[in-house]
Structure 1
């Protein structure tokens, strides 16, 4: 319109940077750090890659901006939650705020949340500052759970913070199956499950011995395909797809790169095989737990056994879900579909428990997703504080996930 005021150069610049951040967060979420490039972001925006360098000189600059934006938004949600009077209400407010933000991502075009597991893949000069920012957020979230009347130890709160963030970010694997209008209800149901747990009133954690999953380690030095899968899984879980190079995987087994390619066609194929091995372990747990007395005992036996398997690692861990971003898009879709088949199987166990009265009434499919996040994100024992044992992990990670974060059985 003639004579209409035009945006100032600084406002145009800020608006463009915001638009780039929206596109970049989508590329980051879809492709992970290993597939994140300025060219991919420019293609999404129908721009020449050179034009992006006016705003972000390197892909690392833009990737760091995406991560920092996610941390800032999570911190803003904490600020909302901190106004509530009790740990239970603070936690409920934070969880529902997270799903409200997921709705705004779809309806208002806000940048997507990018996975926090990629922080250490960014490298210098950003890694230290991003880790510091995330630790500050994590400490605030830990404080959210503090209650002077029924205190949890600082170590217990830190463990719960790790669990909570991974349960929320697991939403990336399943939330696309829901309509955006359902996100408010999802937030309320997820909060109810995380706070209240799954056991019916009066039910305790079963005393049944946990399951031994997977094959015991071979008592020889033979290099097998299985050993490559176990080594690759551990390295990808620790260092991400990009950090777990062919050289590092080979060095872990003390073999040459030639030996790697003798046993594996390529690294992408190895990642897919690691997921397939993980699915076999989950299927084994469900199958071995099936004879248990009721739904609660079947769920506990399968889920707790998988979490302890992930913590011990002596028979090869499950591949963490953040490696999905490394797979080609069609393979990733098929792998995510397999995750959802497993979720529906766990939902069936939970539904059975609701019917037989051993599990309290909850949304079975949402509960199943939270259970899967719990055993997938269980940390190796050497990541815990000195002196921790498997029982520490059971008390601080497994019981809170299955019986509620504020349950007396987890205090």
Structure 2
């Protein structure tokens, strides 16, 4: 009598693919979209002002509904806090990178001035200058003013070191730092993307005016 063949074990069906991305991917997507909300808000704040910009305006430019924004931010105040914070962190990180690169104090100062100028022509940096922190709650103002103080102290330190190495004229580092940061910050007020000068050209001319002045020296007159 022929032996019976053992019944074959059925192959388990493959599990259906999940329509949801893994948690890490979802978090990355959320962060990308949150940054898009902040970038768009910064653009509108710079164009129209903080009070004249509504969440509806931000949602419309992003082609989403206003309720969608609440998945990424709590309210307009939080958006402004994050925009200004991002701009200040960009400035601090850029200055720190130039400091870490080493070299003479004057070279570091010039590099920091160029970095600062570039950032105030960008959306978040421009937001720091055009909107500022006066619209924010007291606690948020304290944090952001602490970050601004860090930038000021970096400029003071470089001026002090430049005087010590003989590359800068003796002066009050505090006043010099105020003049440098004040002049470069004002670029964020009048700069228009796509205008006559690129950010790099603006940086070159403004830094030259700050460092060399606008008066023609007698030796330059004789040389010509």
> Which runs of structure 2 are paired with 1:381-400 in the superposition (5 Å)?
381-382=192-193, 384=195, 387-390=196-199, 392-400=201-209
Whole-angstrom CA distance in 2 between matches of 1:235 and 1:402: 34
1:242 paired residue number: 51
Whole-angstrom CA distance in 1 between matches of 2:53 and 2:179: 27
2:113 paired residue number: 303
> Which runs of structure 2 are paired with 1:27-46 in the superposition (5 Å)?
none
Task: Measure how far apart 1:265 and its partner are.
Answer: 0.9
Is residue 133–residue 141 contact of structure 2 (8 Å, CA) maintained in 1? yes
| Residues 230 and 398 of structure 1, relative CA distance in 2, 3 Å threshold | farther
| Residues 248 and 370 of structure 1, relative CA distance in 2, 3 Å threshold | farther
Q: Which has the larger radius of gyration?
A: 2
SS in 2 for 1:320: helix
Task: Measure how far apart 1:318 and its partner are.
Answer: 4.2
| Residues 350 and 382 of structure 1, relative CA distance in 2, 3 Å threshold | same
CA RMSD of aligned residues (A): 2.9
Whole-angstrom CA distance in 1 between matches of 2:71 and 2:198: 38
Q: TM-score, length-normalised on structure 2?
A: 0.70
Is residue 299–residue 349 contact of structure 1 (8 Å, CA) maintained in 2? yes
Alpha-carbon displacement from aligned partner over 1:187-211 (angstroms, at most 9, x marks no partner): xxxxxxxxxxxxxxxxxxxxxxxxx
Whole-angstrom CA distance in 1 between matches of 2:102 and 2:176: 19
1:51 paired residue number: none
1:78 paired residue number: none
Whole-angstrom CA distance in 2 between matches of 1:338 and 1:223: 25
Is residue 117–residue 199 contact of structure 2 (8 Å, CA) maintained in 1? no
Task: Measure how far apart 1:342 and its partner are.
Answer: 2.1
1:273 paired residue number: 82
Whole-angstrom CA distance in 2 between matches of 1:401 and 1:252: 39
| Residues 257 and 304 of structure 1, relative CA distance in 2, 3 Å threshold | same
1:342 paired residue number: 151
SS in 2 for 1:293: coil
Structure 1 runs (4+) greater than 6 angstroms displaced = none
Q: Does 1:256 align with 2:101?
A: no
1:289 paired residue number: 98
Alpha-carbon displacement from aligned partner over 1:296-346 (angstroms, at most 9, x marks no partner): 1111111212212333x3x75442344311112332233223312321122
Whole-angstrom CA distance in 1 between matches of 2:216 and 2:98: 24
> Which runs of structure 2 are paired with 1:5-404 in the superposition (5 Å)?
223-290=32-99, 291-311=101-121, 313=122, 316-321=124-129, 322-378=131-187, 379-382=190-193, 384=195, 387-390=196-199, 392-404=201-213
Structure 2 alignment gaps of length 5 or more: 1-28
Whole-angstrom CA distance in 2 between matches of 1:257 and 1:330: 27
Aligned length, in residue pairs: 186
Is residue 159–residue 168 contact of structure 2 (8 Å, CA) maintained in 1? yes
| Residues 397 and 274 of structure 1, relative CA distance in 2, 3 Å threshold | same
Task: Measure how far apart 1:364 and its partner are.
Answer: 1.1
Task: Measure how far apart 1:266 and its partner are.
Answer: 0.9
Task: Measure how far apart 1:261 and its partner are.
Answer: 1.4
Task: Measure how far apart 1:239 and its partner are.
Answer: 2.0
Structure 1 alignment gaps of length 5 or more: 1-219
